[in-house]
Structure formats: C-alpha cells, structure tokens
Structure 1
C-alpha cells in the first residue's frame, strides 16, 4: 500500500487526532501513579464483571468460590439487567471525571481514557440495541448461547460439570427473554429483512433436527468430559443423561418458540437491506459508524475512502494478474479464475489437508515474526474447523485463550465448500492468527504490568483497534517479503485489502445510499458477507479505517525518530499497550517517541 495515499485518504481532523500540542501537554501533566485511582479502577472493573457472569467466565476474571459461582449463571437479557448495566456505567463516568482532573501516572491516564471511551461508547450504543435484531444469524441469542456453552464454558475437571448443567438449565429462560426483546422491537417496526429471518430460520431448524441425545449441547458435554480423569464413568453418564433431559424438556421447546416467532415475523419482513429502512435508522447508522471506527467520519466520507482504495488496489492487482497470464476480464473475474485453477482435487474431501495447511502457515508465520517483534505470546494456538451449526454463515475468526491456560487461542476456519479460497489462505492465517489477532489479544492478556481490567479487555478500544491491527498484520507480511516467489499468495493478500476497501463502499452503500443486497453482491462481496453487514452495521468499516490510522501513526513515528526508529519496537508498543481507542494509542506513541528521542 502507498502510505501517502493511505494518509491522504483520511480527512485532516482524523489525521491530527492525538498528535502535536495536545498529546505533549498530556505527557507533561502526567505524574506518579495514584494508588487511590488504581484501587477504585480495580473495584469498578470487578463490579462490572460481576454483573455479567458470561464475561466473568470468558475472562476467568476471579478465582476460587467466586469464579465457580459465576460460572453457574448465564447473563440475563432483561430490562432490569440493562438498567443495572446502565447505572454501573453512569456511576463510573461520574467518578472518572474527578480522577482525570487530578494526578495520574501515564499508564493510569491511558487506563482512565480507555475506561471513559468504553463506557461512553456503550452508553451511546444502548438506545440502538434492537437495531441488530436479537436472532440475527451472526450473533443472535440462539447462536451465541450455543457457542458459549460449547466453546467457552469450562469443563476442566469434574467439579465443572454441575456448572455446565446449571447453565444449560438456564438456556431456555435466556431464549425466552430474547424473544420478549425481539417482540418489543417488532412492535416498533424494528424487523430484519426477510433474507435475515430466513437465515435464522435455517439455523434454528438445524439445531432442532437431531434428537436431544445427538444435540450439539449434549454432544459437546460428552466429547469434552471424555478426557476428565477425575470424572467417574457413572458420573459422566449421569451428566450426559441430565443434559439430554434438559435439552429435550426445556431447550428444544424454547427453540421451537423462536421458530414460531420467526414464522410470525417472516410475512412482515421486507427486502430492503439497509438500516435506513427502520425508524431512526439514520441516527442508528451514524452511531454504529462512530462506535466501529472510533472517528467522526460520515458515511459519505467513508464511502469516498473506499472508492479511492478500491481503484488503487485493483490497479496493482491488474499488474500482477497479467504476469500470471490473466489479462482479460474484471479483477474479480480473473481472481475467480486463478482461484479455480488452484482448487484441490474433488476425489477426496480436502478439508483435513486444508486445516493442516493452515497450521503449517501459522508455524511459518511464527518463525518469520521473529524479525518484526520482540514480544510474542506464550499461549499456544490451535486451528479448528468452524462447527456445523454456524459454518454456513460464519466468517473465519479468533477466540482468545483462557487466562488459566485451560484453553488455547483458536483460529476458527469455516470450510463449507464445495470450493475454497486457496489464494487467500496465507493472508487469512496472518490476520486471524499470527501476527494478527493471536499476537494482539494473547499478548495483551499476558501483560503483567497492565491493570487486570485492561489485560482482560473489560474495557477496550473498539473494532478499529482490533481489526485495524489484524489488517496491519497482513500489510506487514506484504511489506516484509513474506510472499516473495508466491505471486498467487500476494494476489490473495491484495485481494484481502481490496475486500476491506470494498467493505467501506458496500456497508455505507447499504445503510446510507439505499443499496440492495444484490448491489452489494454485484460489487464483489459474497452474499454471506453482505448479510453480515446488514445485521452488524458499520462493523465492516473498522478494518480499513483502523489500519490506515495505525500505518499513519507508524509513519509519523518514523519521521520523528529518523534512524532511531525501530519497526519491532513500534510493533511492540502497539501490542503491549493493549486494546485502546486509536486516538489514545496516538497519545501513548507520542510519549514513546519523546522517550526514544531523548534516549
């Protein structure tokens, strides 16, 4: 990527954020660490986790009896729960005003800024919660609870089994709470498009198809307890029988109620894709963009950035495609032909070999990363195929390792077939695993000099930071010769960049310019991805906007430091700072630049 073009793609107010006099003033004002703030922040973060038991489990934030008790409860989806969370946020923001006006150390001032941004962002998002629909195909309650129980709920020892069963017994209640919420949204005409209703219907049908004994919630318990040395065969059999009863008597009827709700909504749903179709949709989209990108960029500005980047990347891809003999047709058509020429033989199911290839790519990336990073994660990484329930609609993604080491980081790969995107495999591994999300999230979790609430991402910097880093990781591979001798792989990397640029165009097109679902597909985005943007407005814009900002910060540091600039040191600062809003990262980097200049 041309850095000059990347910088010019952003309006000047965004380029200036976090640099210059304001950041210098902040650095001068910073004092020694304030023990009182540290104690308050730790208490506030812990209280925030306590009211969200599923977050407590995902982060294993506590220990002993308190953690064990939280591991038995699913977070309610009720108005009372939302009110409790809102009150917690308001109390935190009120107290933060006093702390930020006083004396804080540099790390504490960063922590306070992160907390403030996260709390304000969550509060601003709360009125628009129903706009993403409680039973969407990406993160709907019917999907999220199954994923949580089968992937996140701990089953490390025999004592965890009762907690699994206790939570399993609450799934139906949470489903019913989500139904109440969805009906309330429908009463305000907050109904998803018909094709989204149909995707959710397919998922619910898939869940209900097997008998209770073969249901994924029972099968996961059976599979995961088979390796527990302290669980007797009789106790395991009793637990599986109990889970089967809960699924049969409570969970399947609850999913049938979701089925009935979706059937009722289907005739009321239309074909218009964008959020602007909904009452208050324009305001909801503006908020979604602000939350996802961490900027004040308008939909029109983001659309223009996308068009500019698409044109630049396609020109570069055209040059490389011609070297391989693909000279005719659109870039997309030629990439499709290139990918088709690389498909594995159809005579044998290639999925096992593709997973093995992904694992080899991750190992190779770990070796190559030694030249670009001084800090690397200790947690192991596993490559796994996406579960059947969500494989048809899921994108590749990463899940964090358990802090106690009981679960590795996981790079989840959907392989629905029948064709596979071979040209993009290496780039996908770099994005989701190494040096992308695995480096970013596992390192943050392992940082002992960050407050626990930052290392565990109780308060974070939003999608622009996390997805911006992963796209920056892809760019590092391109810049540092990882594709030398592999033109198809390089084209796959450029295609991934093009994909994120097209996302800017399609997301804003759908939600601000009246584009149809088919227009998004015709622009070069797959149907499943377009449908993802429909239910997660704005989120797809975080990637390219975040990456451009990180690259700009890097080039600012390079300019300021000259020969003292170290790419590994810059990368380490970004990673060890953890998940922060990108304007806060700019302030951290200004202090780092000053320290390096004075060293």
Structure 2
C-alpha cells in the first residue's frame, strides 16, 4: 500500500471523479480550436507561461496542504518552517474555498493552446486537469468520507504523521513538532464538527469500525503522558540532534507531556464522547450503498482510484477471472510441497503455519530477514533497470499505536536526504505472514514503491511540482506499479529455488484479485462483512476496504494495464523493445492517470520506430 506520503494515507475529507475526455484532450497532439484558444492569438504564447502558471497553481495547492508540504519539503525558508507547524484544515468552509480555487484553475488551464505545449507540458496539463476535475466532480460527496475511520482518521492519522513523517533534523523541527502537537485539539474539534454534519445527512461509520475507533481513543487517553506515542517518538528522535542540549531535550519532553495531559487527552475524550453517542445509531451494514446516494459515491470512488470507467459489475468479473487463474497456479506449487488436501486458502495457511518462528519475540530476526530480502532485490534490480533511486531505503517496524490495525506501507524519503525511504512492517504477532515477506519487499520497496516514488522525486527532467507530487492521480499508477513489480520479480527468476516465496507472491496476487471481488461485493452488491471474510480476506483487511471504498481495486487493475502496455510495446517494437527503456518511460513519467500513461507509452512507441537502440531517459 502507498501513503501520502504513506503510499497513500487515508483519503482526505475532500472530494473527486474522472472526466476522461478532458484529460485525453490535453494529451492530443492535434490542434484544438475553441473560443478560449482563439482568444490567445492576440498574445503570442510562450511555453514558459504554462510552466509558470502550473508551478503557481501547484504552490497554492501545497500551501493549503501543510502535511503534504512537510512530507515533500516543498518550500524553503520561513514559509516551509511555518507550514511544518500546521495541519491540513478539515473545516467545510476550507473545503468549499478549495473547490472554488480548483474551478478557477480549470478555467485558466483551458486558455492554454494544447497544440503549442511540449510533450512534457501536455502530460503535466493532463495530470493537472485530472486532479482538478476529480476534486470538482466529487463536490457532492464532501460529507461521505468517514472522519474517524480507524486507518487514518482525525484521531489517529495526525499522530501517525508526527511519528512517521514529521522531519526531525534539528531543534527547529522539535519546535514545529510541539507546535503541531498543540494544534491537535483544534484539529479534533474540526473533525467533530464534520462528523456531526455527516451524521445529520445520514452518514455514519459501520458499527464495527466505530467500535475500533473507540478502542483506539480509549487506549490513547488511558496511557500516562510519558507513555503517549507522541512523547515517546519525540524523545527517541530528538536524542540524536546535535544542536540540542540535554537540558533542552528535557524541556521539550516536559512540554510535550503537558500538551498531552492538558490539551490532547481532553480533546480526544471529546471525540470519544461523540463516537460513543453515535454507536447505538450504527449498524453492521458494511458498504457505502447504505449511504445517501451511495451508488454514485462508490462509482466516483472507483473512477478516482482506478482511473478507469469500469463498472462495479465489470470489476467484479475481472476479479473472479483472476482468482481462478491464480488459484490454478498455486495448486501446482502447493502440491509440489506436499499440501494437497483442502482449499487453496487452507493449504496456504497450513504451509505458512508450518514455518512460523519459534522464538518468543522474533521481531528482530524478522526485520533482519526483511533487510536481507531488500538488499538481494537491490542487486537483482540492476539487471532490468538502468535508472535507480539515489535515496536509500530501509525497513522499520510499525509503531505500537497503529501496529494492530496497520498494513505494510511505505513512506517517501525526505527530499533533503535527512530521512530514507521506509518500508513499515507491522509485526504485532502472535502469528506472522512468513511466505509473503519477500514479495512485500518487492511491493513496498524494491522495485515497487521506493523505485516509483523516489525516482519521481529525483527526476530532474520533470517539472518541480510533479517531482514533489503536488497533484496525485489516484492509486492506480502507484499501486499498479507496485503490484507489477511483484510479478516482475517472478518473470526474472528472483524466486528460483524459493517455492515458498513464490507462493507468497502468488498469494499476494490472489489477495489483490479477491479484493476486486470483495470491494465491489461490499459496496455495490450488499455483501456483509462476514461474507467478505469468508471469501478469504482477513477481518483487518476487510475493514480497510469498508473504510476506503474503491482503493483496493487500484492494485490489480493498475498492474493489468501496465502489463498490457508493455506487451503492446513489445509486439509493436519487436527486436527494438528493451525492458529497461520501457521501465524508464513508466518511472520517469511519474504519477499520472492510466489514461495519460497509455498515451505517453504510445508516443514513446512511435518515437522508437526506426530509431536506433539506447536507453530512453527523457521524461514525458
């Protein structure tokens, strides 16, 4: 899974939807004549005008998203320092103001003559158009996102952000950390207002999600300030700061404990009171079909996450077909290992259970194994990639607060090099998913999320705003690439001699195929939570899909589209096709809708016809 930058954090309390024709128009090389373009004839167009406009719009967007600006260190000097102490504003008034800004930006974008833009600018324009159209088209669903969902809601997402993503390079970062801590009560109160407004419109979380959120808050408020994860993280991370004295560190810790006791705990108790009051009003219905206009909301979420126009029924059918194919492959390997009796799920679980660690506390050994797989993947990747991230990547254990409910995920390296890319591995136990450890490394780190996100950040041929992800294109590109990376490892023999690891990879693919079935089942076909569990998905994962409708469909659909583009290029280029070149094109384009990526690949294929060999490194 990808985050914001937790390859990707919870969907914001904002909006989204794809207007594919508008995006395709921006990629077209054919002249487009309309009133807006004709009006520009009086003033000669300069390519630099578009670049300046795009960077200005992106900067405005990032100023309104302090958390993302911190993750990307988007600005410099006093402005970035100020943003590092702020939170994204959750108020409805801010959401409406941002919608007005996005509509204005779309109108301005339409004034640029498409035929005069460079290929890179056309890709940038298509990405911007898609992101803005998403926001505007989902304006009707501002109150449909769950404010206090257990993955990244207002009570847990900001804490995870401070612990995992807030930089800690010098004493100034400690001050901004404390400022953000002091701002948490106001953020909680904004969340309470939004949750009450949603409730008034008939939007409540399912009972089981509400109960999980209540338990999370109860755990946090019951702990003494010294044991609060914010205090623990601050203490640990500032220990290595060279510009802080021991006395300054003690003062910072004392201040943090006071903020927890006097401000955060009372605010979280206010949130707890709201959720307890809502609990009797909730039901166990899992899907968003039960919400007002829930079918349209789910359709919008699917378009936003998959960047396709596939219907729930079509996605469901694709999932069933992929499940049957992958289970057939797994059956043969399981039989080779002596697991012939029972369903695929039963046999795989038995195989994994037979390989559980015997130590009472095996987390250190498991982290070492993850690291060994990571270094192995680094060496192997050089054979099929000639563009590699400069930023390092490492594996860390998920923090205790979120470990019981977290999925494995990745956070991007700090642009200034102060923090590496990190694959966060939940290791709560008492059982561990042993077979898929290698494939998790391939998905979250190499050649998955770390390659895609770090290379995008380092791609100097891309405009600054694309390198720093000011505009994101849903999950299909990022998660599709990560799942493609898992399959790429198989195709290149990385699992030779490791049938257990190969089964882990296949099970991961089966898991993503099942999610197409389960996500559409829950949200469009009125499946119960238990039906989803019975289909082979763990309760923890089912709750994630309940919380983030449509997001789970991005993985397999994205992978299938990237594989289809590769095979199209292989077929049309024949002997001129080189896998390293294809990977360069996909990675150096960066995060774009799949419709845009397809047109970028088409342009690259055409450029390779009749051309000599050599690596394609220019970013579109």
Q: Which of the five TM-score ranges fits, normalised by the shorter chain?
A: over 0.9
Aligned residues of 1:391 and 1:415 also touching (Cα < 8 A): yes
Moved over 6 A (4+): 21-24
SS in 2 for 1:132: coil
CA distance in 2, matches of 1:313, 1:573: 29
CA distance in 1, matches of 2:46, 2:222: 57
Query: What are the superposed Cα offsets for residues 73-102 of structure 1, whole Å, 9 maximum, x if unpaired?
Result: 212211221122112211111111111545
User: Residue 26 of structure 1 aligns with which residue?
Assistant: 29
**Structure 1 range deviating more: 465-474 or 65-74:** 65-74
Cα 1:352–1:27 change in 2 (3 A) is farther
Query: What are the superposed Cα offsets for residues 303-349 of structure 1, whole Å, 9 maximum, x if unpaired?
Result: 0000111111111111111111111110000001110111111x431
1:558 maps to 2:561 = no
Query: What are the superposed Cα offsets for residues 163-193 of structure 1, whole Å, 9 maximum, x if unpaired?
Result: 2221111100000100110011111110111
1:270 maps to 2:283 = yes
Cα 1:24–1:132 change in 2 (3 A) is closer
CA distance in 2, matches of 1:102, 1:325: 62
1:358 maps to 2:361 = no
CA distance in 1, matches of 2:336, 2:234: 52
User: Residue 572 of structure 1 aligns with which residue?
Assistant: 584
User: Residue 493 of structure 2 aligns with which residue?
Assistant: 481
Alignment length, in residue pairs? 579
Aligned residues of 1:314 and 1:498 also touching (Cα < 8 A): yes
1:87 maps to 2:90 = no
Coordinate RMSD, CA, aligned: 1.8
- 1:389 paired residue among 366, 381, 401: 401
User: Residue 286 of structure 1 aligns with which residue?
Assistant: 299
1:407 maps to 2:422 = no
1:456 maps to 2:468 = yes
Q: What are structure 2's unaligned runs of at least 5 residues?
A: 1-19, 33-44, 612-620
1:217 maps to 2:230 = yes
- 1:134 paired residue among 139, 147, 157: 147
Matches within 5 A, 1:471-510: 471-510=483-522
1:237 maps to 2:250 = yes
1:74 maps to 2:87 = yes
- Judging by fraction of residues, say which structure has more helix: 1
Query: What are the superposed Cα offsets for residues 3-43 of structure 1, whole Å, 9 maximum, x if unpaired?
Result: xxxxxxxxxxxxxx99xx999952899xx971110111111
1:519 maps to 2:531 = yes
Aligned residues of 2:29 and 2:115 also touching (Cα < 8 A): no
Aligned residues of 1:33 and 1:106 also touching (Cα < 8 A): no
SS in 2 for 1:371: coil
SS in 1 for 2:241: coil
- 1:144 paired residue among 133, 136, 157: 157
CA distance in 1, matches of 2:263, 2:609: 64
Aligned residues of 1:23 and 1:590 also touching (Cα < 8 A): no
CA distance in 2, matches of 1:28, 1:570: 28
Q: CA deviation at 1:125?
A: 2.8
User: Residue 11 of structure 2 aligns with which residue?
Assistant: none
Q: What are structure 1's unaligned runs of at least 5 residues?
A: 1-16
1:48 maps to 2:61 = yes
Query: What are the superposed Cα offsets for residues 267-289 of structure 1, whole Å, 9 maximum, x if unpaired?
Result: 00101111111111111111111
Query: What are the superposed Cα offsets for residues 132-184 of structure 1, whole Å, 9 maximum, x if unpaired?
Result: 31000111011111011122222211122222221111100000100110011
Aligned residues of 2:476 and 2:558 also touching (Cα < 8 A): yes
CA distance in 1, matches of 2:396, 2:552: 24
1:531 maps to 2:543 = yes
User: Residue 445 of structure 2 aligns with which residue?
Assistant: 433
Query: What are the superposed Cα offsets for residues 479-512 of structure 1, whole Å, 9 maximum, x if unpaired?
Result: 1111111111111111111101000000000011
SS in 2 for 1:410: strand
CA distance in 2, matches of 1:488, 1:236: 47
CA distance in 2, matches of 1:519, 1:270: 16
CA distance in 1, matches of 2:484, 2:106: 32
SS in 1 for 2:554: helix
User: Residue 559 of structure 2 aligns with which residue?
Assistant: 547
User: Residue 116 of structure 1 aligns with which residue?
Assistant: 129
Matches within 5 A, 1:121-270: 121-270=134-283
SS in 1 for 2:493: coil
CA distance in 2, matches of 1:56, 1:471: 27
CA distance in 2, matches of 1:389, 1:292: 27
CA distance in 2, matches of 1:239, 1:251: 16
User: Residue 593 of structure 1 aligns with which residue?
Assistant: 605
Aligned residues of 1:27 and 1:591 also touching (Cα < 8 A): no
Aligned residues of 2:27 and 2:596 also touching (Cα < 8 A): no
SS in 2 for 1:421: coil
SS in 2 for 1:390: coil
SS in 2 for 1:389: coil
Aligned residues of 1:24 and 1:590 also touching (Cα < 8 A): no
Aligned residues of 2:298 and 2:549 also touching (Cα < 8 A): yes
Aligned residues of 2:352 and 2:434 also touching (Cα < 8 A): yes
CA distance in 1, matches of 2:396, 2:102: 36
CA distance in 2, matches of 1:120, 1:22: 13
Q: Give the alignment's TM-score, normalised by structure 1.
A: 0.94
SS in 2 for 1:423: coil
CA distance in 1, matches of 2:27, 2:596: 13
Q: Give the alignment's TM-score, normalised by structure 2.
A: 0.91
Aligned residues of 1:86 and 1:123 also touching (Cα < 8 A): yes
